Amino acid sequence: MKRSDRPPMKHAEKVGFLLKQILGQPGFGEQLNRHQAWLVWDQLVGEQIAARARPFKLRKGVLEVQVDHPVWMQQLQLMKPQILEKIEAKIPNAGITDIYLRQTRNAQTYHPQKAKTAPEPPPWVNMELTDSEKKSIEEKLSPIKNVELKHELRKLFTRQKQLDKTRGD
């Protein structure tokens, strides 16, 4: 609909009011409870299964799960009672009574991203300074009265000295 075709808005509604309207609709709370299965699926079945099977639909208490391989379907078929127990324990009012497994070629599989580890610090960061180098830095800092500034400059001068040392300067 074009903007010009819409009736003018008398006044903008507050977001809180709109959310209360949406959340206050009959049955909406139960629907939200049921759909929490999507949020906890990875925790319930584990990373390995979650990479091969994803919740797809929820209809009349039956959670439909897409699985990308028949072997995983068979495994999940055997695990259905345990998964349903876990869902009931995690989301007591979900009302999910069964799981329907559907094999699909293009299952929306989940590939969790590995937690990014911090890169190793460059070798110069761990370079030890000699006593004379430390003394030289302290002499440069001696005229400065501000403690915070002195501390930050000490870190800067130390890093620079470490870097110069690794370069062979």
- What is the identity of the amino acid at 103? Q
Question: Range of 128's domain?
Answer: 123-167
**12 within domain boundaries:** no
Same domain, 32 and 94: yes
Same domain, 127 and 69: no
Q: How many CA atoms lie within 13 A of 92 on its CB side?
A: 0
- Give the number of domains in the chain: 2
pTM summary value: 0.47
Domain boundary among 54, 70, 103: 103
**116 within domain boundaries:** no
Q: Would you write out the chain's pLDDT as a tens digit for each of its 169 residues?
A: 576 777 776 777 777 776 666 666 666 566 666 667 777 888 888 888 888 888 888 888 888 889 888 888 898 899 899 988 888 888 777 778 888 888 887 655 555 555 567 788 888 788 888 999 999 999 988 888 888 888 888 988 998 888 888 887 6
Q: 160, 52, 169: which is closest to 105 by C-alpha? A: 52
Instruction: DSSP letter for 124, please.
Output: G
**14 within domain boundaries:** no
**Residues near 95 by Cβ (< 8 Å), separated by ≥ 6?**
30, 33, 34, 61
**19 within domain boundaries:** no
**136 within domain boundaries:** yes
**128 within domain boundaries:** yes
Q: In what order do the strands lie in the sheet with 98-103?
A: 53-59, 62-67, 98-103
Same domain, 33 and 78: yes
- Taking the C-alpha atoms of residue 153 and residue 144, their distance in angstroms, rounded to an integer, is 10
Same domain, 31 and 76: yes
Same domain, 95 and 30: yes
**2 within domain boundaries:** no
**113 within domain boundaries:** no
